[in-house]
A and B are shown apart, each in its own frame.
Chain A
Amino acid sequence: MPILASADWLILLIYCFFVLSAGVSLAPAITGSKDYLQAGRKLPGWLCGLAFISAGMGSLEVLGMGAAGAKYGLASMGFFALGSIPAMLFAALVLMPVFYGAVSAPGAPVRSIPEYLGLRFDQKTRALNAVLFTAMALFSAGISLYAMARIVAELHVFDTVADRLSLPPAGALLLAMALPAVLVLAYVLLGGLAAAMYNQLLQFFVLVAGLLPIVLLGLKRVGGWSGLKAADSLTGAAHTGGHSMGIGMVGLVLGAGLVLGGSTWCTDFRLLQTAMAAKNAAAARRAPLVAATLRIFVPLLLVLPGLLAVGLPTPHTTIVIHNENGAIYHEITVVPPAIEAGQGMVPAKADAAGQPVKGADGKPVLDYAMAMPNMLLQFLPTGLLGLGLAALLACLMSGVAASLTASNTVFACDIYQAFLKKDASDKQILKAGRWATLGGILLAFGAACAAMRSNDLLDAVVLVFAVVNAPLFATLLLGALCKRATGHGAFAGLIAGMAAALLHHGLALPRGEQPGIHGGWIKVLHHPASDMALGLGTAALAFVVSLLVTAAVSVCTAPRPEGELTGLTFRSAAESASGAWWKRPETVAAAIILLAAIAVNLVFL
Chain B
Amino acid sequence: MAKKAKTDLAVKSAVSPTIEVDARIAVGMFFTLTGTILAAFGLSTRDQMNVYAKSLGIDANLWWGLALLVFGILMLAFGRRGQIKMDKAGK
Contact = CB atoms under 8 A, between A and B. Distances in A.
Interface in B31-69: 31, 33-34, 37-38, 41-42, 45, 51-52, 54-56, 58, 60-61, 64-65, 68
B38 A35 contact: no
Contacts of B17: 28-29, 31
A198 B58 contact: no
A382 interface: yes
B84 interface: no
Contacts of A209: 31, 34, 64, 68, 71
Given A40-B19, A380-B54, A202 B30 contact: yes
Contacts of B38: 7, 11, 383-384, 387
A25 B19 contact: no
Contacts of A336: none
A7 B19 contact: no
Contacts of B34: 11, 14-15, 209, 387
A388 to B, nearest CB: 11
Nearest to B67: A209
Contacts of B29: 18
Interface size class of A (residues with CB under 8 A): 35 or more
A219 to B, nearest CB: 11
Interface in A110-156: none
Classify the interface of chain B: helix, strand, loop or mixed: helix
Interface string A200-240: 01100110010001000100110000000000000000000
Interface string A30-45: 0100010001101100
Interface string B4-35: 00000110010001111101001101110110
A205 B55 CA distance: 21
A11 B37 CA distance: 8
A589 interface: no
Contacts of B10: 25
Contact of A201 (B18, B23, B56): B23
A25 B13 contact: yes
A461 interface: no
23 contacts: A7-B37, A7-B38, A14-B34, A14-B37, A15-B30, A15-B34, A21-B26, A22-B26, A28-B13, A31-B17, A35-B19, A43-B19, A197-B23, A198-B21, A205-B27, A217-B58, A379-B56, A381-B51, A381-B52, A381-B54, A383-B45, A384-B60, A387-B34
Interface of B: 9-10, 13, 17-21, 23, 26-27, 29-31, 33-34, 37-38, 41-42, 45, 51-52, 54-56, 58, 60-61, 64-65, 68, 71
